[in-house]
Amino acid sequence: MPEQNLTPEILTAALQGLEAQRARLDAQIADVQRMLGARPQKPAPAAAPKPKRKMSAAGRRRMAEAAKKRWAAQRHKAEAATKAKETTAAAKTPRPKRKISAAGRKRMVEGSQKRWAEYRRRKAEAAQ
């Protein structure tokens, strides 16, 4: 970058020009916000950031105890529901497993063979 001879007068003039541009832009932004019905934004003060809030050990302990209490209640509720399901399932007698008869199986095989034969016949007709 070439060395530039920047005098305080040039820098002051540049600063004034930039501030004038910023003022013009702020006015235009306010106009657009007014058209949208928004409140004009005020520039945020350049204050120091707020210090981070710290929680005491006692506060953290109370929160941990409350969380444990909530989870224990949830776990107890889930266990009660599981036990209720087990008792209702145990009360029902299991049904014997259904088995297909030899005649029923034969009908299924014949139907499948018939469908495949029809499929192959149509495929052969389409190929000719």
| Helix, strand, or coil (residue 55) | coil
Instruction: Quote the tokens at residue 41.
Output: 């934004």
Name the nearest CA neighbour of 43 among 61, 22, 64.
22
**In which domain, by residue range, is 18 found?**
9-41
C-beta of residue 84 within 8 angstroms of C-beta of residue 90 = no
Percent of the chain with pLDDT over 70: 88
Tally of domains in the chain = 1
**Residue 24 forms part of a structural domain:** yes
Which pLDDT does position 1 carry in this prediction? 41
**Residue 96 forms part of a structural domain:** no
Q: Model's pTM, two decimal places?
A: 0.30
pLDDT digits (tens, 9 = 90+) for 26-75: 999 888 888 888 665 666 667 778 888 889 999 999 999 999 999 999 99
Q: What is the distance between the alpha carbons of residues 61 and 68, in angstroms, rounded to a whole number? A: 11
**Residue 101 forms part of a structural domain:** no
Backbone CA torsion sign across 26, 31, 36, 41: positive
